[in-house]
Amino acid sequence: GAGVSQTPSNKVTEKGKYVELRCDPISGHTALYWYRQSLGQGPEFLIYFQGTGAADDSGLPNDRFFAVRPEGSVSTLKIQRTERGDSAVYLCASSLEVGQIFNYGYTFGSGTRLTVV
């Protein structure tokens, strides 16, 4: 597609439920990133993929969070046993190659606003 697509755009879930957030990167982009933006904060790094593998998951807050990218394109961020503190905008970004963020920056999607009630 022309840009990074994230679905759903909004998700409301009850505390304790499981959610999946989807990211469809720009075609041909090998690097994919997930960030989380809480209210009043800047985006915080969660995980990045180079191809199918999670090359750096150091930003995932705990083991309730997991992300996959099985075919090296679409990625799914999975959150188990959601808590109210998980409420945030989850942003996905992609770049043509790893290490291009300085020259071109990432291309971000519009995000998924997750609300846990």
Backbone torsion region of residue 71, taken as left when φ is above 0, otherwise alpha when ψ lies between -120 and 50, otherwise beta: alpha
Backbone angles phi, psi at 98, to 5 degrees: -65, 140
Give which of 25, 40, 43, 36 is closest to 64, Cα–Cα: 36
Which of residues 13 and 100 has its CB atom nearest to another protein in the complex?
100
Encoded one letter per residue, x for contact with another protein by CB under 8 A and - for no contact, window 70-109 reads ---------------------x-x----xx-xxxxxxxxx
Secondary structure of residue 88 in the 3-state scheme: strand
Residue from 42, 53, 71, 84 in contact with another protein (CB under 8 A): 42
Residues of span 22-41 touching another protein by CB under 8 A: 31, 33, 40-41
Binding positions for another protein, rule: CB under 8 A: 4, 31, 33, 40-45, 48, 55-56, 59, 91, 93, 98-99, 101-111
